[in-house]
């Protein structure tokens, strides 16, 4: 069992490929290097996707993210590269990667990149009533 950084993204079959459902992952310890100064850049990555036939295996995702630690990348480049690699490996119905880089030089940077499978359209959003608070007995409806 390897614990070395790797560009390999392992997958497993989507256990509910018959429906759209959102998979949400937060990666709070992403690091890469500034290509100009060599100083570390720190970010929280948020990955949201709707799988088609495949899901990403978490350990391989962790090792993949770790593989950027000693590489120089601009924020825009690394965000789009990660999205491209993940969408190539998983072929999801939809995927969004949000990269929130911590302040450097007084500037916070957030990069958001999307991938959509050709022809895929999201289902209409369903709004459900909030049942966590009791209804007011003084109102009708």
d(CA 50, CA 81): 19
Which two three-digit tokens encode residue 132? Answer: 């966590």
34 has catalytic annotation:
yes
55 has catalytic annotation:
no
Q: Name the catalytic one among 10, 20, 34, 52.
A: 34
Q: Name the catalytic one among 10, 20, 32, 41.
A: 41
Helix (H) or strand (E) holding 82: helix 75-90
CB contact at 8 A, 82 and 93: no
CA dist 17 to 14, 37, 82, 92, 125, Å? 5, 45, 23, 11, 19
Q: Catalytic site residues?
A: 34, 41
């Amino acid at each position: 069992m390897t614990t070395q950084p790797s560009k390999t993204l392992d997958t497993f079959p989507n256990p509910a490929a018959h429906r759209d459902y959102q998979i949400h992952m937060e990666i709070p310890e992403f690091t890469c290097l500034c290509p100009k100064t060599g100083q570390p850049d720190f970010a929280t990555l948020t990955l949201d996707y709707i799988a088609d036939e495949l899901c990403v295996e978490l350990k391989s995702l962790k090792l993949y993210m770790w593989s950027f630690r000693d590489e120089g990348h601009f924020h825009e480049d690394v965000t789009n590269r990660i999205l491209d690699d993940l969408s190539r490996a998983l072929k999801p119905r939809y995927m969004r990667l949000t990269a929130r880089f911590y302040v450097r030089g007084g500037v916070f940077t957030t990069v958001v990149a999307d991938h959509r499978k050709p022809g895929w359209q999201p289902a209409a959003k369903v709004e459900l009533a909030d049942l966590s608070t009791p209804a007011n007995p003084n109102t009708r409806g």
